[in-house]
Amino acid sequence: NYVTRLKEEKIYQSMSRKGTCLDNSVMENFFGIMKQEIYYGHTYHSFEELREAVQKYITYYNNHRIKARLGWLSPVEYRLRHAAA
């Protein structure tokens, strides 16, 4: 069974609370953007190469990638600006 296999491998499913599909929406949105920007159309030749690309992308996304809904700031810039206010 799928759930048993996940537990055996110490992999935990991301599950929303019952009837609350929005619990995972932020991460689902991030993964969708990340796949569009670094995965689709690119061939990775090893797990290590993919892992490095994901790590670099997360750094880029948090520190440099601006978002209109954050007032054209990166997520880190937005948090720092609003933490100081």
**Residue range 42-75, pLDDT digits in tens:** 999 999 999 999 999 999 999 999 999 999 999 9
Q: How many domains does the chain have?
A: 1
Distance CA(3)–CA(12), nearest Å, equals 9
User: 73 has which bridge partners?
Assistant: 67
Residue 8 lies in a domain: no
Owning domain of residue 82: 46-85
Q: How confident is the model at residue 12 (pLDDT cuts 50, 70, 90)?
A: confident
The per-residue pLDDT for 19 is 64
Phi and psi torsions of 28, nearest 5°: -60, -40
Q: What is the pTM of this model?
A: 0.69
The per-residue pLDDT for 16 is 62
The per-residue pLDDT for 62 is 95
| Element (DSSP H or E) covering residue 61 | helix 47-63
